[in-house]
Amino acid sequence: MTPDESLAYLYGLQQFGIKLGLENIRGLLRRLGDPQNGLRCLHVAGTNGKGSVSVLLAEMLRHAGYRTGLYTSPHLHSFAERVRIDGEPLELDRLPALVEEVRAVGEGIPATFFEATTALALLAFRQAGVEVAVLETGMGGRLDATNAVDPVACLITPVAFDHQEHLGATLAAIAAEKAGIIKPGVPVVSGLQESAAAAVIAATAAERDAELWQAGTDYQWGGTHAAMWFRGPGLSLDGLRCALAGDHQLANYAQALAGAACLRRCHFALPDAALRRAGETVRWPGRLEWWGEPPAILLDGAHNAAGASVLVRYLDGRGGRPVSLVGGLCGLRRPDEVLEPLAGMIDRIYAVPVPEVATVAPEELVGWARRRHLSAAAFSTPGAALAAALDGRHPSEPLVVAGSLYLVAAVRSLLCADAAWSLSVEREDR
Residue 427 domain-assigned?
A: no
Average pLDDT value for residue range 283-311: 91
pLDDT band at residue 428 using 50, 70 and 90 as cut-offs: very low
Q: Are residues 311 and 185 in the same domain?
A: no
Contact 277, 85 (CB under 8 A): no
Concatenating the DSSP letter of every residue in 207-244 gives: HTT--EEEBTTTBEEEE-SSSEEEEETTEEEEEE---S
Q: Are residues 318 and 348 in the same domain?
A: yes
Residue 207 domain-assigned?
A: yes
Top-confidence residue, 19 or 171? 171
Residue 36 domain-assigned?
A: yes
Instruction: Read off the CATH number of the domain in which 140 is found.
Output: 3.40.1190.10
Residue type, 187: P
Q: Are residues 228 and 140 in the same domain?
A: yes
- The pLDDT assigned to 365 comes to 96
Question: Residues 261, 265, 266, 271: is their CA dihedral positive or negative?
Answer: positive
List CB contacts of 207: < 8 A, sequence separation 6 or more: none
Angstrom distance (rounded) from CA 100 to CA 104: 6
Q: Are residues 219 and 334 in the same domain?
A: no
Average pLDDT value for residue range 83-89: 98
Strand 399-402 with 323-327, pairing: parallel
- 293 has a pLDDT exceeding 90: no
Angstrom distance (rounded) from CA 423 to CA 384: 9
- 222 has a pLDDT exceeding 60: yes
Where is average pLDDT lowest: 121-135, 231-245, 338-352? 338-352
Residue 31 domain-assigned?
A: yes
Strand 297-299 with 323-327, pairing: unpaired
pLDDT in tens, 177-194: 999 999 999 999 999 999
- The pLDDT assigned to 397 comes to 86
pLDDT in tens, 98-148: 999 999 999 999 999 999 999 999 999 999 999 999 999 998 899 999 999
Q: Are residues 337 and 251 in the same domain?
A: no
Question: Any bridge partners for residue 42, and if so which?
Answer: 134, 153
- 424 has a pLDDT exceeding 70: no
Q: Are residues 195 and 314 in the same domain?
A: no
Instruction: Read off the CATH number of the domain in which 368 is found.
Output: 3.90.190.20
Secondary structure E strands in 61-117: 68-71, 83-85, 88-89
End-to-end CA distance of the chain: 44
- The pLDDT assigned to 16 comes to 61
- The pLDDT assigned to 3 comes to 93
- 263 has a pLDDT exceeding 70: yes
- C-alpha separations of 283 from 84, 168, 292 in Å: 13, 32, 17
Angstrom distance (rounded) from CA 386 to CA 384: 6
- Global pTM reads 0.93
Concatenating the DSSP letter of every residue in 297-335 gives: EEE----SHHHHHHHHHHHHHTT---EEEEE--BTT--H
Which of 252, 281, 310 is the C-terminal boundary of a domain? 281
Proportion of the chain above pLDDT 70, given as a percent: 96
Rounded to the nearest integer, the mean pLDDT of the chain is 93
What does residue 54 show for φ and ψ, rounded to 5 degrees? -65, -45
Residue type, 229: W
pLDDT band at residue 94 using 50, 70 and 90 as cut-offs: very high
Average pLDDT value for residue range 264-275: 96
Angstrom distance (rounded) from CA 255 to CA 153: 12
Number of domains in the chain: 2
Q: Using alpha carbons, select from 41, 173, 13 the residue that is nearest to residue 106.
A: 13
- The pLDDT assigned to 321 comes to 78
pLDDT in tens, 193-221: 999 999 999 999 999 999 999 999 999 99
List CB contacts of 59: < 8 A, sequence separation 6 or more: 87, 277, 278, 281, 282
- 48 has a pLDDT exceeding 70: yes
Strand 289-291 with 297-299, pairing: antiparallel
- The pLDDT assigned to 422 comes to 41
Residue 424 domain-assigned?
A: no
- The pLDDT assigned to 171 comes to 93
- The pLDDT assigned to 354 comes to 96
Domain residues for the domain of 343 are 289-417
Residue 64 domain-assigned?
A: yes
- The pLDDT assigned to 427 comes to 32
CA 308 to chain centre: 14
